[in-house]
Amino acid sequence: MSSLASVDPQIAELIKAEERRQSDTVKLIASENYVSKAVLEATGTVLTNKYSEGYAGKRYYEGQQVIDQIESLAIERAKAVFGVNHANVQPYSGSPANLAVYMAFLQPGDTVMGMGLPFGGHLTHGWSVSATGKWFNPVRYGVRKDTGRIDLDEVRQLALEHRPKLIFCGGTAIPRTIDFEGFASIAREVGAVLAADIAHIAGLVAGGAHPSPVGHADVISTTTHKTLRGPRGAMLMATSDEHATALNKAVFPGLQGGPHNHTTAAIAVALHEAAQPAFRDYAHQVVRNAKALADELSSRGFDLVSGGTDNHLILLDLTPKGIGGKPAAQALDRAGLETNYNTVPFDTRKPFDPSGIRIGTPSVTSRGMGETEMRQIGAWMDEVVTAVAKGDAEDVIRRVHHEVSELTSQFPAPGLS
Ligand code: DSN
């Protein structure tokens, strides 16, 4: 980055600082990952100079000889990795991808059913502050209080009562396997389109560590930068060609202008990586690591929503530890353990000061860490959270931070120098 350093030393220094921070931290944010050097290189290319509104072979600008090939490769790879007949790789990110689903199938005011945000859904599944909750008529399902899991009987009852045109399954804080078949049967019964938002678990689906929605959901929406380990971007996929035109039209010209071609190329690279046998091992190790971390935390008295995890994600209710999610996450961050505070189902606290934290294992697994390291991380989390709850955490935070640095130096993160 010698040009950047001479043209804009301030930004160059800040990027270096962020690289050091990412390298020195145990990143436990469930929706983040480290991309490979190859993915990183693809994002920083001259492809960012090109406008390509439209689709391969049918663009509104000339000079698409190369871009058409890149986008077609990304599409073919998405189709092969996920086993779908249609893929659109142009959505800028997860929220625009989900908005395109509304654009394709609904009129303003139509009813959409999704998981409530505080229960683990996503803003774009019809939450009140989102355009999807303001411009459509949202109906929300949650989880059972006694199990912390989705109750498909409740989902079915709500669907029969409200007759949504669109049902979303998937979300941002669901530690358990999503029953795509069960959702599909409900959607069929009420004549709704089923959209599976697999943003969090796309890498697990690609690697065979979570059941696939293919054959069940009408539309599959995903970001590309979480467990899939690609650049910040998104895709919309469909098992059959039936909805291909509607989805394409919704993305462009419905919602977006020119695709971000540098991102498209990086998505293609990430999909190439996801097609390798090593990615299957990665996906399964992500789940093994999450289970080991969940087990360690559970044995140390943490309250895990739903009692554990089937995937990459763990949602902790810190109420029994006597501390809110925000002060706990802030203290953990100072100790080098990066998490996010999160609402838990039936939370009595406010979203900006909720009862829980959400953690996940995609990033630490990308660094090559295994179950032994997960147990160590669980022990550190316990030490820090317990000390903060007692109001005397400075020495613990300092010591844990030192030990975390020793661990991260043994497990270099992909893509970082
Ligand atoms: N912001 C993402 C997450 O952290 O889960 C969802 O869009």
Q: What is the CATH number of the domain that holds 386?
A: 3.90.1150.10
Report the DSSP pairing between strands 303-304 and 313-317: antiparallel
Q: What is the mean pLDDT of residues 91-116?
A: 98
Please indicate, yes or no, whether residues 257 and 357 belong to a single structural domain of this protein.
no
Classify 356 as helix, strand or coil.
Answer: strand
- Residue 34 resides in a domain: no
Report the DSSP pairing between strands 234-238 and 219-223: antiparallel
User: What is the model's pTM?
Assistant: 0.97
Long-range contacts of 279-285 (CB under 8 A, 24+ apart): 279/203, 279/206, 279/207, 280/207, 280/208, 280/209, 281/207, 282/203, 282/207, 282/229, 282/365, 282/366, 283/203, 283/204, 283/206, 283/207, 283/208, 283/209, 283/227, 284/207, 284/208, 284/209, 285/365, 285/370
- Residue 414 resides in a domain: no
Instruction: Specify the pLDDT at position 227.
Output: 98
Classify 316 as helix, strand or coil.
Answer: strand
Structure tokens at 161: 């009562």
Please indicate, yes or no, whether residues 117 and 241 belong to a single structural domain of this protein.
yes
Q: Counting atoms of ligand 1 from 1, which one is nearest the CA of 94?
A: 7
Is 172 touching ligand 1 by the criterion CB < 6 Å? yes
Q: What is the mean pLDDT of residues 262-270?
A: 98
Instruction: Specify the pLDDT at position 247.
Output: 98
**Distance from the alpha carbon of residue 32 to the mean position of ligand 1, in angstroms:** 9
Is 415 touching ligand 1 by the criterion CB < 6 Å? no
Residue nearest to atom 5 of ligand 1 (CA): 172
Q: Using a pLDDT cut of 70, give the percent of the chain over it.
A: 100
In eight-state DSSP terms, residue 123 is G
Structure tokens at 83: 């086993």
Q: In CATH, what number is assigned to the domain containing residue 53?
A: 3.40.640.10
Give the side-chain half-sphere CA count within 13 A for 161: 11
**Distance from the alpha carbon of residue 31 to the mean position of ligand 1, in angstroms:** 6
Structure tokens at 158: 């709500």
Please indicate, yes or no, whether residues 205 and 299 belong to a single structural domain of this protein.
no
Residue nearest to atom 4 of ligand 1 (CA): 31
Statement: residue 184 has pLDDT above 80: yes
Domain of residue 125, residue span: 41-274
Statement: residue 1 has pLDDT above 80: no
Residue nearest to atom 3 of ligand 1 (CA): 31
- Which run of H or of E encompasses 112? strand 111-115
Q: What is the mean pLDDT of residues 282-303?
A: 98
Q: What is the mean pLDDT of residues 159-174?
A: 98
Q: What is the mean pLDDT of residues 193-213?
A: 98
Please indicate, yes or no, whether residues 218 and 79 belong to a single structural domain of this protein.
yes
Please indicate, yes or no, whether residues 54 and 202 belong to a single structural domain of this protein.
yes
**Distance from the alpha carbon of residue 328 to the mean position of ligand 1, in angstroms:** 19
Q: What is the mean pLDDT of residues 167-176?
A: 98
